[in-house]
Amino acid sequence: MKIEWKTCFRIAVSIFLLYLAVTYWTTAAGLLSTAFAAALPLLLGCGIAYVINIPMTFYEKHYFTKSTHPMAAATRRPVCMIAAFLTILAAAALIIGLVVPQLGECIRLILAEFPGLMEKAVTYAKDQKLMPEKVLQPLLEIDWKSQLSGIIEKLGSGLGNVVGGVISVVASVFSGIVTALISIIFSMYLLISKDTLCEETNRLLRRIANGKWNEKIHYVTSILNDSFRRYIVGQCTEAVILGVLCTVGMLIFRFPYALMIGALVAFTALIPVAGAYIGAGVGAFMILTESPMQALLFLVFILILQQVEGNLIYPKVVGTSIGLPGLWVLAAVTIGGGISGVLGMLLGVPLAAALYRILREDLHRFEAVQAPAPAEEKTEAVPATEETE
> Domains in the chain: how many in total?
2
Q: In terms of domains, do 264 and 334 share one?
A: yes
- 0.85 surpassed by pTM: no
Q: CA torsion angle for 242, 247, 249, 255 (degrees, to 10)?
A: 140
Contacts by residues 146-155 (CB-CB < 8 Å, ≥ 24 positions apart): 148/111, 148/114, 148/115, 152/111
User: Is the CB of residue 119 less than 8 Å from the CB of residue 89?
Assistant: no
| Together in a domain, 281 and 269 | yes
Is 260 a residue whose pLDDT tops 50? yes
pLDDT tens, residue by residue, 44-66: 889 899 999 989 998 988 888 88
pLDDT tens, 361-377?
A: 888 887 887 766 555 54
Check whether residue 135 and residue 218 sit in a common domain: no
136-156 pLDDT, tens digit per residue, is: 666 665 655 565 565 555 555
The one-letter amino acid at 227 = S
Task: Report if residue 161 sits inside a domain.
Answer: no
256 & 328 share domain: yes
**Most distant CA pair in the chain, distance:** 130
338 and 242 housed in the same domain: yes
Nearby residues of 1 by Cβ (< 8 Å), 6 or more positions away: none
Q: Is residue 222 part of a domain?
A: yes
Same domain? 200 vs 303: no
Q: List the domain range (segments joined by +) for residue 221.
A: 211-367
* Shared domain check, 221 and 196: no
Asked if the structure places residue 27 within a domain, the reply is: no
Name the band, by pLDDT with cuts 50, 70 and 90, for residue 348: confident
213 class by beta-carbon count within 10 Å (0-12 exposed, 13-18 middle, 19+ buried): exposed
Identify whether residues 48 and 190 lie together within a single domain.
yes
Do residues 264 and 360 both lie within one domain? yes
Q: Are residues 141 and 280 in the same domain?
A: no
Is the CA virtual torsion 360, 365, 371, 376 positive or negative?
positive
For residues 65 and 149, membership in a common domain is answered with yes
Look at the alpha carbons of 273, 274, 277, 279 in this order and tell me if their dihedral is positive or negative: negative
In a domain, 315, yes or no: yes
